[in-house]
A and B are shown apart, each in its own frame.
Chain A
Amino acid sequence: MLPLAGFTVIDFSQFLSGPLTSLRLADLGARIIKIEKPGTGDICRQLYTSETVLNGTSTVFHAINRNKESIVLDIKSEADCRVIRDLISKADVVLHNFRPGVMERLGFDYAHVREINPSVIYGEISGYGKEGTWAAKPGQDLLLQSLTGMTWLSGDATNGPVPMGLSIVDMFAGANLCSAILACLYRRTVQKMGAHVHVSMLDSAVDIQFEAVTTYFRDGQLLPQRSEVSNAHAYLAAPYGVYRTADGFLALAMGSIPQLRQLLDCPELENFTDGEQAFEERDAIKKILMQHLITKSTAHWLGILEAADIWCADVLDWHRLTEHDGFKILDMVQQVTMGDGFTYETTRCPIRIDGEPLISSKGSPKLGEHTTKILEELYG
């Protein structure tokens, strides 16, 4: 039995953050009913990455919305609102990521939803919190990365601001909302009470940086300083970074400089020790390592360093990764099938329960694919 078997989620959310919450709940066993507006549905259906269209919809939508059902309802029509109220009355979770004020206007904010279903867990994601002058701003990933200082952490010192190349604020916000919903579902089993759960992308963006922000305040409010070469973390000492080798790249995490000097046979590192020097003079150390490591192959260096239990790794692209036995053994790829028989490959949920990966063969829904079925369930 899956942990959330028997739970129903009514999901008004679009794009990535909220739908990621419901994807996780789906894989944990809940039934997800996506409420989509007539015509376009979730805007993410048309948000193409590299213009790849798969069975009429963006690949991103297929990744985020597998294992869900879709009902088309017009939230502005009174008849459809009755259906929404009936769905909510039987739901365990309701979630949305509209801007603050929208659900209040539509009559499906927590106060109203609680009247329909007092024990419901109501989850919402905002961009910047529900109050203040930022509340109306678009909660978009790159804008949040840019606002919160996150773009000064990746890349080398001379690169200017470098965004993290995925929508990670969306993803953390969605994951955080999922955790909060699960915690309140647990509380409901103990105390029979509903909950109103809210997570903002802004808080989530700062939370990702909690180490760096805490350091900033403790350390006399100095801005993060990326290293000039091979930066991988603005706050970590040499050798932490990625280095070019004769035939590829090598990642080096934390490690003792004197030990590396010896293992790599790199006498130029002679004047450097661990601790403060490895941090204060990391550019010099990293430049020496850069010149040294490029002389031999990645496999050569890995052979020496792994034998000495130094934390290091080859740098793979997806071709080499997906061909590797270390990847294959995880069974991370699953094939899912849509209602019309179309199949596609995607990743599975990263959590294992009782030794089993959480797998579901259900692909993403066509817009309104389950409208008739769900209406029949409700009204016979």
Chain B
Amino acid sequence: MDNKPLDGLLVLEFSQFMAGPTAGLRLADLGARVVKIERPVKGEGGRQIAIKNIFVDDSSLVFHTINRNKESYAADLKNEKDLADIKALIQKADVITHNFRPGVMEKIGLDYESVKALNPKIIYATVTGYGNEGPWAKKPGQDLLVQSMSGLSWLSGSEGDGPVPFGLAVIDMYCATHLTQGILAALLKRSRTEEGVLVEVSLLESALDMQFEVLTTYFNDGRKLPKRSAVRGGGHAYLSAPYGLYQTVNGYLALAMGDLQKIAAVIGLPEGHYHDQSTWFSQRDTIMQELGQALREKTTQEWVALLETAGIWCGSVQDYHTFLQEENFVQTGMLQEISLHDGTALRTTRSVYGIDGHYLYADKPAPKVGEDNEKIMEDYLIH
């Protein structure tokens, strides 16, 4: 689309791995020019972090997913000449992001105060693992570790399980949304004050924010720990039956919150079941077991048809094979193809933002290390 919200803004991304670069991707899709500042040759650390060991063009597939629609400028921050160029570039930038551990940018002379002296209108945004101070400040800020330390791993799975992590880097991603929001809010602030803004987020604070509903319950219910359902398939430690997944003849059925008496009638449990609503939470395990037994009698599709007719919130549990082929999904246009440098196409997702009736597509692939040095020199550094 024309007229993207961040057209004309320059973002310098010193960030590596996931949280910072995912925020950079959001800003890029919203129209900003995002330039990764990378060390020569090897580039940012995320290029080597692979899932399933899949590499494309010497960088991991994940890197390509997170860093499409960006440019790369290679610079050795320990080399005086390179650092001088970076400082000159910073004077032209609107935003810089980094996720170095506390102290690193101070050593290079690119901490907030120094950068602000170079460019008084800079938005300086940082991601740490656990904040800048305290006993955890130096710990590696990594998604699984933060899930584990924040209590998040006691919310999924069943009572008999140990901790069950969320099987995606959800903290990195949630933190990226916070970083994006902080940067955008800072841009708004700057438009009124004409002054730079410091934005700080951390993985741990994002992990706590993700749990804000259940932590608020914990703070105010006499500090009881979450109790997951003993029956497999429970969907939420704090919600009453029927919330969860149930096995059917040919797969699984999801039941969200709903009127248990109505559900019981539809699935053929004897009348008079579950009239006392207070038992829906206190006897969750028993109820889920009873429902589970009844639901094993028909196919998922049969149940969905019956329950939907009765106005019950339910759905089938799908996998990527079925879901990604669904006509209704394909029509959303959520997928896009990126042409990689090696000539192959990479099918990936687009940005989620719909603006003025358009989605933000961008088929520019992730850059090679230093791919854009010359262009950026010309655009910003040669007068």
Is A160 in contact with B232, judged by CB distance below 8 angstroms? yes
Note all chain A residues with C-beta closer than 8 A to B252: 146, 151, 160-161
Is B211 on the interface with A (CB-CB < 8 A)? Answer: yes
Which residues of B lie under 8 Å from residue A353 when comparing CB positions? 182, 185-186, 189, 197-199
Given the known A-B contacts A142-B243, A231-B167, are A28 and B185 also in contact in the complex, defined by CB atoms under 8 Å? yes
**A3 proximal to B (CB < 8 A):** yes
Q: Is the CB of A186 within 8 A of B215?
A: no
Chain B residues near A159: list those with CB within 8 A: 157, 161, 232
A140 to B188, CA, bound (A): 32
- Check: B142 CB closer than 8 A to any chain A CB: yes
Nearest Cβ on chain A to B214's Cβ, whole angstroms:
7
**With known contacts A138-B313, A180-B353, A149–B165 Cβ distance under 8 A:** no
Is B136 at the interface (CB under 8 A from chain A)? Answer: yes
For residue B79, CB closer than 8 A to chain A, the reply is: no
A171 with B315: CB separation less than 8 A: no
Q: B182: which A residues are within 8 A, CB to CB?
A: 351-353
Q: Does B289 contact A (CB under 8 A)?
A: no
- The residues in A between 325 and 378 inclusive whose CB is less than 8 angstroms from any CB of B are 325-330, 332-333, 344-347, 349-355
Closest to A349 in B: B209
Q: How far is the CB of B293 from chain A (nearest CB, A)?
A: 16
Closest chain A CB from B117 CB (angstroms): 16
B149–A316 touching, CB < 8 Å: yes
List of B residues within 8 angstroms of A162 by Cβ: 156-157, 164, 167
Answer whether residue A228 sits at the interface, using C-beta atoms and an 8 A cutoff. no
Inter-subunit contact A330/B204 (CB<8 Å) = yes
Q: How far apart are the CA atoms of A141 and B227 in the complex, in Å?
A: 20
Which residues in chain B, 7-41, are within 8 Å of chain A measured between CB atoms? 8, 26, 30
Contact A146 B317 (CB under 8 A): yes
- Partner pick for A186 among B5, B66, B354, B355, CB 8 A cutoff: B5
Bound: A215/B219 CA distance, A: 40
- How far is A221 from B239 in the complex, measured between Cα atoms in Å? 35
Cross-chain contact A59 with B225 (CB below 8 angstroms):
no
* B residues 296-314 in Cβ contact with A at 8 Å: 313-314
Interface size on B, residues (CB 8 A): 145
Interface pair A202/B332, CB less than 8 Å apart: yes
In whole angstroms, what is the CA distance A176 to B23 when docked?
Answer: 11
Given contacts A52-B220, A172-B177, A346-B219, contact A213 B212 (CB under 8 A): no
- Choose the segment among A98-106, A234-242, A262-270 that binds chain B (4+ C-beta atoms closer than 8 Å): A234-242
A235 and B52 form a contact (CB under 8 A): yes
0/1 per residue, A221-246, Cβ < 8 Å to B? 10110100001111111001110100
Chain B residues lying within 8 Å of A208, measured Cβ to Cβ, are 168, 170, 173
Q: Which residues of B contact A355 (CB under 8 A)?
A: 198, 200
A side interface size, CB within 8 A:
144
Residue of A nearest to B222 (CB): A52
The docked-state distance in angstroms from the alpha carbon of A243 to that of B233 is 22
> What 1/0 mask marks residues of chain A from 148 to 178 whose CB sits below 8 Å from any chain B CB?
1111111100011111111110011001101
A212 / chain B contacts, CB cutoff of 8 Å: 168, 320
**Which listed residue (A152, A171, A215, A221) contacts B61, Cβ 8 A?**
A215
B153 and A315: CB pair below 8 A?
A: yes
Given A165-B156, A279-B52, A319 and B323 touching (CB < 8 A)? no
Q: Which B residues lie within 8 Å of A175 (CB)? A: 174, 177-178, 181
Give chain B residues whose Cβ lies under 8 Å from the Cβ of A236.
Answer: 51
- A197→B353 contact, CB < 8 A: yes
Contact A152 B319 (CB under 8 A): yes
Please tell me which stretch of A68-76, A80-88, A188-196 contacts chain B, meaning at least 4 of its Cβ atoms lie within 8 angstroms of it.
A188-196
* Interchain CB contact under 8 A, B165 and A242: yes
| Chain B nearest CB, measured from A229 CB (Å) | 10
Asked if A109 CB lies within 8 Å of chain B CBs, one says: no
Q: Smallest CB-CB separation from B330: which chain A residue?
A: A132
Q: B191 an interface residue at 8 Å Cβ cutoff?
A: yes
Complex Cα distance, B218 from A54, in Å, reads 12
Give A254 to B339 CA distance when docked, in angstroms: 30
A304 at the A/B interface (Cβ < 8 Å)? no
A253 touches B173 (CB 8 A): no
Pick the residue among A184, A276, A313 that contacts B53 (CB under 8 A).
Answer: A276
- Answer yes or no: A211 CB below 8 A from chain B CBs: yes
Is A308 at the interface (CB under 8 A from chain B)?
no
Output the least CB separation between A203 and chain B (Å): 4
Interface flags, B212-252, vs A, CB<8A=1, else 0: 11111111110111111000111111111001110100001
A59, B221: Cβ atoms closer than 8 Å: yes
When the two chains form the complex, which single residue of A176, A202, A226, A332 contacts B353, counting CB atoms closer than 8 Å? Answer: A176
| CA of A143 to CA of B200, assembled, Å | 34
Q: Does A131 contact B (CB under 8 A)?
A: yes
Which residues 1-47 of A have a CB within 8 angstroms of B?
1-4, 16, 24, 28, 47
Which candidate, B102-110, B342-350, B375-383, is the interface stretch facing chain A?
A: B342-350
A187 contacts across to B, CB distance below 8 A = 3, 5-6
| B201 with A352: CB separation less than 8 A | yes
B264 on interface, CB distance cutoff 8 Å = no
Asked whether B185 lies within 8 Å of A4 as measured between CB atoms, the reply is yes
**A209 located at the interface, meaning its Cβ lies under 8 Å from any Cβ of chain B in the complex:** yes
Partner of A143, one of B56, B65, B210, B314: B314
A210 to B348, CA, bound (A): 7
B146 neighbours in A (Cβ, 8 Å): 313
* Closest B residue by C-beta to A315: B148
Q: Are A213 and B188 in contact (CB under 8 A)?
A: no
Instruction: Give A195 to B185 CA distance when docked, in angstroms.
Output: 17
With A153-B167, A196-B356, A344-B220 as given contacts, are A143 and B256 in contact (CB-CB < 8 Å)? yes
Q: Is the CB of A50 within 8 A of B221?
A: yes
Q: Does A217 contact B (CB under 8 A)?
A: yes
Which one of A143, A209, A232 lies within 8 Å of B313 (CB-CB)? A143
Closest to B65 in A: A214
The smallest beta-carbon distance between B112 and chain A, in angstroms, is 9
Nearest CB in chain B: distance from A226 CB, A: 7
Select the stretch in B70-78, B84-92, B127-135, B265-273 that faces chain A.
B127-135
Contact among A64, A147, A276 with B318 in the assembled complex (CB-CB below 8 Å): A147
Q: Is A260 part of the binding interface, using a Cβ–Cβ cutoff of 8 Å?
A: no
Q: How far is the CA of A195 from the CA of B5 in the complex (A)?
A: 10
Chain B, residue nearest A234 (CB): B167
Pairwise interchain contact B216-A329, C-beta atoms closer than 8 A:
no
Identify 15 residue pairs between A and B in the complex whose beta-carbon atoms are under 8 Å apart, listed by A's number. Answer: A49-B213, A147-B316, A149-B318, A150-B168, A160-B245, A161-B245, A161-B317, A166-B155, A166-B213, A189-B188, A241-B165, A251-B145, A317-B151, A344-B216, A352-B200
For the complex of A and B, the 4 pairs showing the least CB-CB separation, nearest first, are A153-B167, A165-B155, A329-B134, A49-B238
